[in-house]
Structures are given as C-alpha cells and as structure tokens.
Amino acid sequence: MNWWQRLWKKKLLEDRLDRELRFHFDSQVADYMRGGMKETEARRRASLEFGALESVKDDCREARGTLWVDTTWQDLRFSFRTLRKTPAFTLAAIITLALGIGANTAIFNVTNAVLLRSLPVHDPQQLVSLKVEPGQPDGAGNTGDSETSFSDLVFECLRTRHDAFSAVIAHVPLGFSKISVRHGQMPEEALGEMTSGDLFSGLGVRMACGRPFTLDDEYNHTAVTVVSYTFFERSFGENCQNTVGHTLYIKGFPFTIVGVAARGFFGLLNGSTDIWIPLQHRPEFNAWGSSNEGYYADAKWWCLPLMARLAPGISPERAVTMVAPAFQRAAYEPLGGKPHPGEKPRTLALVPLRGVPGAEGQAKSLTVLMGMVGLILVIACGNIAMLLVARNTSRQREFSIRLAIGGSRFRLFRQLLTDSLLITGAGAVLGWILSLAATRALIAWAEIDFDVTPDATVFLFTLGIAIFAGILFGVAPLLPAVRVPIGLALKSSAANLSQSRAKLRTGRIIVAFQVSMCLMLVAASGLLVGTLRNLEHINLGFRASGLLVFGINEQLLAHSDAEAVRFYQALLEKLRALPGVESVTLMGNRIGTGWSNNTTAKVDGKDAVASGPNASIMMRWNDVGPDFFTTLRVPILRGRDLNDRDSDIAPKVAIVNQTFAQRFLAGRDPLGHSVSFNEAKPYTIVGVVANNKYTGLRENDVPMAYFPYTQTNADGVKHIEIRTVDDPVRILPIVRKAVTGFSPDLALLQPMTQQAQFDETISGERLVARLSVCFGALAVLLVATGLYGTLAYSVSRRTSEIGVRIALGARRLDVLWMILREGLVICLIGIAVGLPLTLLSAGLLESLLFGLAPRDPLTTAIAVVGVLLVSAAAGLVPANRAACVQPTIALREE
Amino acid sequence: MHAQRTDLPQGTLDLLILQVAALGPLHGYAIAQRIQQVSRAALQVQQGSLYPALHRLENKGFLAAEWKDTETGREAKFYRLTAKGRRKLKDETEDWRRLVEAVGLILALAAGEAL
C-alpha cells in the first residue's frame, strides 16, 4: 500500500489496525488461560501488559507517514472556523494583503512583458539584436536610429556568416508611422514591416494557417504578405483558412495573403505589427517609407534594423569576434575603405532580445513604480502584523488553556502559522484576481499595444512575494503569543498589562516605520503629479484645440514632386471648401510626434555663427503648407505667413522662429537674409514667428526654419492640419469622404486632434502620475488604518486609567489631546526617519521629472503636512472615544 | 524461572523483527513470542513499540503483510521479509557485528588494565 492509498483508505486501515491488535490481545489471553489462569485474570494481565491501547494505535498511525496531512487538515479547519468567527479581522487582513499583492503583480506583469520576457518563439535565448557602437560610421546616412540600423551591404555580408549565425534577419518598418492598406471598400491603417525572407523560419514563428514567406520570396520580391493574428481577427475575423489567398492592397499595390502568423506573435516593433512583406525593390516600398534612392541603391544609407539567431553553441561575444573583420570591411567599403582620420572604428555588438523592442525607455518609470508598490506591500504587511498581534493578544487566555490541558507549544505554533498561511493564501489568490483586472485597466489606460497575459515568471513572482509577505507578518507576531505563560488562564486581565505595553510599543514602532515609507511614497507621487502638471501647462506656442490632423500618402497617385504638389494643392482646395472648416494647411513632420529634421544651419550661404551662451549651430526644420502659422495660431512677429503663391516655381522663401533670429541674426533684421541647409539653394527669410513646440512638450527652444513643402520635397507622406469651427472630430466623416474621392486607397493616417497628439507624448508621464497617486492614496489609507488601530487599542487598554483621570477632574479636551498627541508623536518620529529617506531616494526620480527639482521644498512640505493631517484625522476617532469615557462605567469594568 | 530482562538498545528492535520475520511469515504476536523465547526471555518486546515498528517497516517496504487464517481458524496479519528487507537485514546484521566487536575490544582493554 503506497503513501496515497494510506492517505485515502483511512477507514480500512483503522479497521485492520483494530483487528490486528485485538488478535494479539486475544492470543495473549488464550495463552494465559492455557497456562491455567482464569479468563478474568488472564484478561486483566493481558491488558496490563498491553498498556494504553489508544497510545499504541496512535504510534502505529504515526508510522503511516500520513499523520501530518491529517493534522494540517485539522489545523486548516480549525483556522477556518476561528477566522470565520471574526469576519471583520479576516476581511481586513485579506483585502489589505490582496491590494498589496495585486498591485505588485500587476506592475510586475507589465514590467515583465515590457522588459524581461522573451519573444514567443522557438529557443528565444539564441536571439540577439545587432547594434553598431558608437553609432553609424562618419559619412554614412542614417535614419535617426543611429545605433540599431545597418546598410544593406553589412546585412548581406553578415547573413552569409553561417559559422556565427543561423540566420540574420533584416526588418524595416514601411513608414515612420502606420501605412494604408485595404481589402474591401474602405482603406485602413496598419503597422507594417518589410523583412528578409527568413523572418519566420529564423525566429521559429509558426503560422496559424497558410505558409510563411521564404528566402525565394525575398530574392524575387514577390508581392505576398503574412498578416498578424490580431490583424486577421480585426479585419477578416472569420475563417483563418479563407483569409489566405485574399488580396491586400498595401499602399495601393496588390499583395496576396499567404499566411496568418500564430496568435501571440506581435513582431519586432514597439507596438503590434499587423503585416509583414518580403523586402521589396521599388521606390514605393523603401525603408521607413522614405523618398530617397532606396536601401538597395544607396550603399551609404544605414537604415536596416537587424537581428540574428546565434549558431548553436556560439556565445554573443564569440560571434562578434568571428565576424569583426568582415564587418569592418563591409561597413567601410563604400566610405573609402577605412575610418575617417580621428574616427573611432565602429564595432558590432549583440544584445539579447527581450521584452518589447524599443521600450527600454520605460525601464526607469517601471522601476520607480515597482519600488512604490514594493513599499505598499511592506506597509500592508505591517498592518496585518499588527492586526495579528492584537488578535493573538486577545486570544492569550485561549492559548494558555490549551497549554494547561496538555496541548504542545509546537502544535499551538503550528496552529497560528496555519492562520497566517490561510490569510496569505486567500490574500494571494484574491490579489492574483485583482491583478488581472488591474492589468487590464492598466492596458486600457496606457493604450499599451502588446500582450500582457501573465506567464510563469509572473506567477512565480506572486508566489514569491506571497511567501515573503507570509513570513514577514506571519511568523513575527507568533513568538509572543506562543510564549504565553500557562498560569495566565487563572489570572485577571490586569496582570498582563506590562506585557501588552511591550506589544503596544512594537505596534508604535511599526506604525512609525509605515509613516516614514508612506512619506516617501506621497512625496514621490507629489513630484510626479507636479511634473505632469508642468507638462500639461506648457505653452505650446500655438492653439492646439480645434485642430484636426491626419496623414496622407500621395505616393499611390503622384510619381514626381510636381505631381505631388498638384495633388496636395487640389486636396487643400477641396478641404477648405468643406463646411465647418476654417483653414487648412499641411506639414512634412507631424508636430508632437517626436520626429524632426535636424541639420547644420547656414545663414547667407555660410555656416551660421551662434551668439549667446548656446553655441550650437544646429537647427530644426519642417516643410509646411500655406497658412501654416495662421492655421496653428502662431503669432507672426515680423513679415508674413506662407501662402499659395509660394509655389515650386516662385522664389524660395523661409520663415524662422524667434530663437533662430536671436541666435544667428542677433541685432539684425532677419527679413531679407537667407537660410539654407545641406547643399540646398538659399531661402530668403520672409517672416519671423514666435517659438512653438515641434517635437514634443519637453522640447527646449531651438532654432527653427520653415520651408514651403513645394520648394523642398513634396513627395512622401504629409500631415494635413485643419482648423475647425467646432469639435474637430465631428467633421472627420466628411473629410474622410472628401479624401477617398481622390482614390479608394487613400486612408487618413492616424487621424486625431492635435491636442491628442501632444497629449500622447506625455501619456507615459500621465500614467505614472496617476498610478503614483493611486499608490500614494493606498499607502495613506493603510497607514491611517494602522495608526487608528494602534490608538484604538491603546485607548481600550487604558480605559480604566482614563476613567480615573476624568474622575479626578481631567478635562475632556485634555484627554482628547493626550491620545491625539500619542498619534502625532508616532507620526513625527516616522517623519523624522522618513524625511532623510525621502530626500535621499528622490534623486532616483530625477530623470522622470520636468520643471521641478527632485528635492522640491514645496512638494516635500506638502507631503509632510499631508501625512500629519491624515495622522491627526486617524487619531481623532479613538481620541474622541477616550474623551467620552464615562468614569463610573470604566471603573466598574476593572 | 525469570531471566533478567534487558532493555533493547535504540534501533535494535527493527533488526530483531527482520531476523525473526526471515524465518517465515509470522503474525505480530508470534514475532513477539519468538523474540522472547529465543532470547530465553531476556528480551521482552512491548506491544507499544512492536506494532509501530512493524507498521513502519511495512510502509518502508522491508516487510510485506498479508491477511491469512491461523491454525486456530482466526484471520491474522502475517508479516514476511521482502527482498529489500533481506538486504536491509544483511546490512544491519553486519553493522551490529562490527559494533559488538568494537565494544568488545574496548571492554577487553579495560578489563586488561584493571588486572
């Protein structure tokens, strides 16, 4: 009979045990009778020899090795019964713990998905992304992603190195933002990538149905596409198999859908990729949707992000060494064969691929949030520990009776540990459920576009913190409870006053500690909220409300700059005529997205000379349409706005901002001077405008130049900006109709209000600020309850003392103040400890803050006052109860 | 006649039970009787330790148990040595011999010095 059978067939075992021992007894009796004894005598003798039957049975049961299960089960049932008898305590403890564990699990879940988790592919440990350090070689063109992009030549060179890599995969977005695709009547937006043929085979991504594209597809530039499962669900939604074979118009060109990628694969971008196509060789499908020569033609253009699967048994370091000479050759071949004089030779680096690609920027915020929820868990554990101490104190009489009638201390200890474990278990389960809801809320809040289903790591994390919490609050309060003297049962309650005083002190220390951590949290959340407020109240330099913005890709209609100009002129004309439209303009880089053109400024044909403290001669520029500044409501300080007459054949003009004028043309009238960039012909400055934000809210004032799009490059995606009479979103349907009138493939790319576009740039800050407020509030709530509990306990212990005081003539106000003071002292001690910690830890927040210092005195002061006020409020209830003590009643109780 | 009774050293009960059970399937009472007889009543096994020991050895797989009728026609639980138990018995016996020999040597030395 094995252990499990012994566990389950208890009744059978008991029956057999009984029969076996009875047989022994009967045999003994029979033997004695055979020896001449009378039956009664024989029985008496046998029982004497046998000893206590039950104790023998108990020892036999012990031998089964299953007894601990029974005991544990008994303990659990007993714990369950006692916990149910005090529902308020049980609920308070479980909910407190669930909040702590839930918050931790939710934040860790997101952290795990963003930073830690590997791709859902075969053997993800072997995947690396390629980096060039410290950025592209001098003389090479780049895309802004200087460290992570490579030239086609480097890619072709590395992918032949099968000794180091099983596969090298190039994957490049089809545009800076989403692109337009269509399979029915209405075009839609999709995030798309163009990749080498071994994307799916190299990563080991399976297809939900159909086939992946292959290296042959890449070499022949076949017009085939694989779509993601989410895209399939969103746009086709029914039978996966039927989707295969459909034609998808990507940027107006027909592609055949050959496969649907397995659910859960979101691609290699920061955001979920909708479609993949093999590398194409035509101007419309250039890397990043760019309008230059193309990545095949331009050997100096480093534009391809690369990743690789290491060959079996090859470490990243080894692979780098193996391919280093070949990499150097391929990198410098089009650039004169060797590095420029003084240039640090570029090296290849391989970094493990994990988390959401490109989300490393979130690491800081997530770390701060993890720290905050960690503190909350510790505070929560403090509360539960105090609750348990109070509960165990009130059960001391029960314990002492149990000890007095022969219960073992070990068993008592076990029983109390079971209580803690039951609470921890319930708290962890509830916390896990809470965290699922919280994660869902987080995703909705943060507009996160990736999979955050908790995986085994998250589960282990939750288990880990549950165990940590269980030990933290579970074991500590047991020791005093188990040390209870047996004689206590016989004594009166007053006898243990000194003991409870020691416990009260422990409680006070815990609360003071909680206050100090709470202060840290509140101060941090104050700083983050202050940052958000500063960002929200930034003067953009134009009026963002009442503006509708969307992108248009004219490449499917126009095939030259001249055609593009004619198209955009016609489009602007048509949009201006729509009802509810006040004015319309366009721009090359959508403002508020972070994208910008940066170049060395040239004034009057020569490199600009900077005056003032900032010596940088870099400027930003944008190509914009007529009425740009009028439409945006940017004040024009000198000269004029651009207009329809600034066409491709008109004299070249430019408008600069105030910073440009101050830095490069100090003391001179900017009008009439000229500005130019790269090799371009000079543009005469015809206007000066007030500074306004271009890339985002955190942008500092930089020199800016604006050129008519007709006189730079009209080709490529442009963003239309419409000033509307009332709510911009309301005119979206008629705008959409007007645009599709030009071609059914013309989608409005990412239509939104300009306000929303800028709001999006601080969505991360907003989320962190909101969460930190939630966490701060939670911490305050927990500390307030903890303090309230401690003071209430103190009052209940001192009822008779207070009664005596009042009987002797103490005023009620004095009593009120006495209790209140007790709470404030605890709080002040907490603040005294917490303030240095707060100031010390605030430095960690520095990079997340905007417009205020990490040790902002006002924020710190508000946090201190806030914590004090909350403590006073929490103390008021027990203090009031103390003040209302009736001396006669209090004294009678004693 | 009553021989002087000796308390069993810790752990030797298992050895005795295994040895007795090696002679053939026996029930608990018979095992106790046999130990008593063979040791000429010097060793008296308490039921309080016999049965827990039997159950422990059974659960560890050194003994196998079976319910069979005795010669008196009553059903009893018979214990029999398993192959695993036989190995255990061999090991334990050797251990015991070594122990006795070692203790004997030391005692002999002490006796020599006393002379």
> With an 8 Å Cβ cutoff, are B59 and A65 in contact?
yes
Q: Is residue A874 part of a domain?
A: yes
Q: Considering only CB atoms, which residues of chain A are within 8 Å of chain B?
A: 1, 3, 6, 16, 19-21, 23-24, 26-28, 49-52, 55-56, 59-60, 62-65
pLDDT confidence of residue A656: 95
pLDDT confidence of residue A297: 65
Q: Among A395-399, A808-812, B101-105, where is mean pLDDT lowest?
A: A395-399
Entry field: residues in chain B: 115
* Residue range A372-376: mean pLDDT, rounded: 92
> With an 8 Å Cβ cutoff, are A50 and B47 in contact?
yes
**Which residue in chain B is spatially nearest to A66 when comparing CA positions?**
B59
Percent of chain B residues topping a pLDDT of 90: 16
pLDDT confidence of residue A492: 52
A653 phi and psi, to 5 degrees? -130, 160
A717 pairs with which residues across the strands?
Answer: A553
ipTM of the predicted assembly exceeds 0.90: no
Q: B56-84 burial, b if ≥16 CB within 10 A, otherwise e?
A: bbbbeebbbbeeeeeeeeeebbbbebbee
B6 pairs with which residues across the strands?
Answer: B43
Bigger pLDDT: A67 vs A529: A529
Structural domain count, chain A: 4
- Confidence grade of residue A686 (pLDDT, cut at 50, 70, 90): very high
Write the pLDDT tens digit of every residue in A263-319. 878 888 767 789 999 988 877 787 777 766 666 667 777 888 888 998 888 888 888
pLDDT confidence of residue A719: 93
> With an 8 Å Cβ cutoff, are B51 and A59 in contact?
yes
Contacts of B53 in chain A (CB under 8 A): 63
Other C-beta atoms lying within 10 Å of the C-beta of residue A877? 14
The answer on A369 and A346 residing in a single domain is no
Q: Is residue A401 part of a domain?
A: yes
pLDDT confidence of residue A683: 93
Bigger pLDDT: A700 vs A343: A700
> With an 8 Å Cβ cutoff, are B52 and A21 in contact?
no
The answer on A503 and A563 residing in a single domain is no
End position of a domain, from candidates A354, A370, A404: A354
- State how far residue A407 is from chain B, nearest Cα, in angstroms: 22
DSSP letters, A147-167, are TTEE-HHHHHHHTT-TTTEEE
A50 burial type by CB count under 10 A (0-12 exposed, 13-18 middle, 19+ buried): middle
Contacts of B75 in chain A (CB under 8 A): 19, 23
Write the pLDDT tens digit of every residue in A751-790. 999 998 888 888 778 888 988 998 999 999 999 988 888 8
- What is the dotted CATH code of the domain comprising B12-114? 1.10.10.10
Mutation target vs B (from A56, A57, A58, A67; most B CBs, 10 A cutoff) = A56
> With an 8 Å Cβ cutoff, are B46 and A59 in contact?
no
- State how far residue A59 is from chain B, nearest Cα, in angstroms: 5
Q: Among A375-379, A513-517, A553-557, A559-563, where is mean pLDDT lowest?
A: A553-557
pTM above 0.95, yes or no: no
First-residue to last-residue Cα distance in chain A: 60
Bigger pLDDT: A198 vs B41: A198
Averaged confidence pLDDT in chain A? 85
Residue carrying the six token digits 């090859």: A314
**Per-residue pLDDT for A688 more than 50?**
yes
* Residue range B95-115: mean pLDDT, rounded: 81
- Confidence grade of residue A494 (pLDDT, cut at 50, 70, 90): very low
Q: Is residue A756 part of a domain?
A: no
- State how far residue B84 is from chain A, nearest Cα, in angstroms: 15
- Using the Cβ of B77 and the Cβ atoms of chain A, whether some distance falls under 8 Å is answered with yes
The answer on A374 and A259 residing in a single domain is no
Other C-beta atoms lying within 10 Å of the C-beta of residue A24? 24
End position of a domain, from candidates A354, A381, A396: A354
End position of a domain, from candidates A301, A331, A354: A354
pLDDT confidence of residue A450: 63
pLDDT confidence of residue A869: 93
B19 burial type by CB count under 10 A (0-12 exposed, 13-18 middle, 19+ buried): middle
- Confidence grade of residue A257 (pLDDT, cut at 50, 70, 90): very high
**Per-residue pLDDT for A85 more than 70?**
yes
First-residue to last-residue Cα distance in chain B: 34
C-alpha radius of gyration, chain B, whole number: 17
Q: Are A544 and A754 in contact (CB under 8 A)?
A: yes
The answer on A809 and A667 residing in a single domain is no
**Which residue in chain B is spatially nearest to A22 when comparing CA positions?**
B76
> With an 8 Å Cβ cutoff, are B48 and A16 in contact?
no
> With an 8 Å Cβ cutoff, are A19 and B55 in contact?
no
- Using the Cβ of B48 and the Cβ atoms of chain A, whether some distance falls under 8 Å is answered with yes
**Rounded CA separation A557/B19 (Å):** 100
- Confidence grade of residue A798 (pLDDT, cut at 50, 70, 90): confident
Query: Nearest CA to A173 among A323, A273, A84?
Result: A273
* Residue range A568-574: mean pLDDT, rounded: 93
* Residue range A10-36: mean pLDDT, rounded: 87
- Using the Cβ of B37 and the Cβ atoms of chain A, whether some distance falls under 8 Å is answered with no
The answer on A401 and A347 residing in a single domain is no
Three-class secondary structure of residue A572 per DSSP: helix
Write the pLDDT tens digit of every residue in B22-59. 888 888 888 988 888 888 777 777 778 888 888 888 88
Query: CA dihedral in degrees (A709, A711, A716, A718; nearest 10)?
Result: 0
Write the pLDDT tens digit of every residue in A518-568. 999 999 999 999 999 998 888 899 998 899 999 988 776 777 778 888 899
Bigger pLDDT: A501 vs A742: A742
Sign of torsion over alpha carbons A10, A16, A19, A22: negative
**Per-residue pLDDT for A117 more than 70?**
yes
**Rounded CA separation A148/A304 (Å):** 8
Contacts of B55 in chain A (CB under 8 A): 60, 63-64
pLDDT confidence of residue B4: 56
Contacts of A51 in chain B (CB under 8 A): 46-48
Q: Are A558 and A566 in contact (CB under 8 A)?
A: yes
**Rounded CA separation A756/A692 (Å):** 17
Tokens of A860: 């710190």
Write the pLDDT tens digit of every residue in A614-651. 777 888 889 999 999 999 999 999 999 999 999 888 99
Cis bond upstream, residue A212 (ω within 30) = no
pLDDT confidence of residue A569: 92
Contacts of B44 in chain A (CB under 8 A): none
Could you say which of A20, A51, A62 has the minimum Cβ distance to residue B77? A20
**Rounded CA separation A595/A589 (Å):** 6
Write the pLDDT tens digit of every residue in B57-83. 888 889 998 888 887 788 888 999 999
Contacts of B49 in chain A (CB under 8 A): 59
Chain-centroid distance of CA A470 in Å reads: 26
Q: Is residue A106 part of a domain?
A: no
Q: Are A845 and A527 in contact (CB under 8 A)?
A: yes
The answer on A717 and A599 residing in a single domain is yes
**Per-residue pLDDT for A849 more than 70?**
yes
* Residue range A234-257: mean pLDDT, rounded: 86
Residue carrying the six token digits 């500074």: A691
Q: Is residue A788 part of a domain?
A: yes
Q: Are A660 and A703 in contact (CB under 8 A)?
A: yes
The answer on A706 and A775 residing in a single domain is no
- Using the Cβ of B86 and the Cβ atoms of chain A, whether some distance falls under 8 Å is answered with no
The answer on A219 and A142 residing in a single domain is yes
pLDDT confidence of residue A488: 61
**Which residue in chain B is spatially nearest to A29 when comparing CA positions?**
B29
- State how far residue B11 is from chain A, nearest Cα, in angstroms: 15
**Which residue in chain B is spatially nearest to A25 when comparing CA positions?**
B29
**Rounded CA separation B23/B81 (Å):** 9
The answer on A287 and A201 residing in a single domain is yes
Where do the domains of chain B lie? 12-114
Domain span at residue A280?
Answer: 124-354
- State how far residue A33 is from chain B, nearest Cα, in angstroms: 15
**Which residue in chain A is spatially nearest to B33 when comparing CA positions?**
A28
Query: Nearest CA to A125 among A203, A55, A191?
Result: A203
Contacts of A60 in chain B (CB under 8 A): 51-52, 55
A38 phi and psi, to 5 degrees? -75, 160
Q: How many CB pairs under 8 A join A and B?
A: 58
**Rounded CA separation A609/A438 (Å):** 54
Helix, strand, coil in percent for chain A, rounding step 5: 55, 15, 30
Chain-centroid distance of CA A816 in Å reads: 46
- Using the Cβ of B52 and the Cβ atoms of chain A, whether some distance falls under 8 Å is answered with yes
Query: Nearest CA to A57 among A90, A94, A10?
Result: A10
pLDDT confidence of residue A495: 45
Q: Is residue A773 part of a domain?
A: yes
Query: Nearest CA to A710 among A784, A631, A639, A653?
Result: A653
> With an 8 Å Cβ cutoff, are B76 and A59 in contact?
no
Residue carrying the six token digits 């410290």: A134
A168 pairs with which residues across the strands?
Answer: A308
Write the pLDDT tens digit of every residue in A397-435. 778 888 787 777 777 888 888 888 888 899 999 999 999
DSSP letters, A85-147, are HSHHHHHHHHHHHHHHHHHHHHHHHHHIIIIIPPPSSSSGGGEEEEEEETSSPTT-B--S-TT
The answer on A512 and A620 residing in a single domain is no
The answer on A369 and A340 residing in a single domain is no
> With an 8 Å Cβ cutoff, are A21 and B47 in contact?
yes
Q: Is residue A634 part of a domain?
A: yes
- Confidence grade of residue B3 (pLDDT, cut at 50, 70, 90): very low
DSSP letters, A34-90, are HTT--HHHHHHHHHHHH--HHHHHHHHHHHTT-HHHHHHHHHHHHHHHHHHHSHHHH
The answer on A446 and A465 residing in a single domain is yes
**Per-residue pLDDT for B115 more than 60?**
no
Query: Which stretches of A515-626 are assigned E, i.e. beta strand?
Result: 547-553, 581-587, 597-600, 602-603, 606-607, 618-624
Q: Is residue A89 part of a domain?
A: no
Percent of chain A residues topping a pLDDT of 90: 24
**Rounded CA separation A640/A655 (Å):** 8
**Per-residue pLDDT for A89 more than 60?**
yes
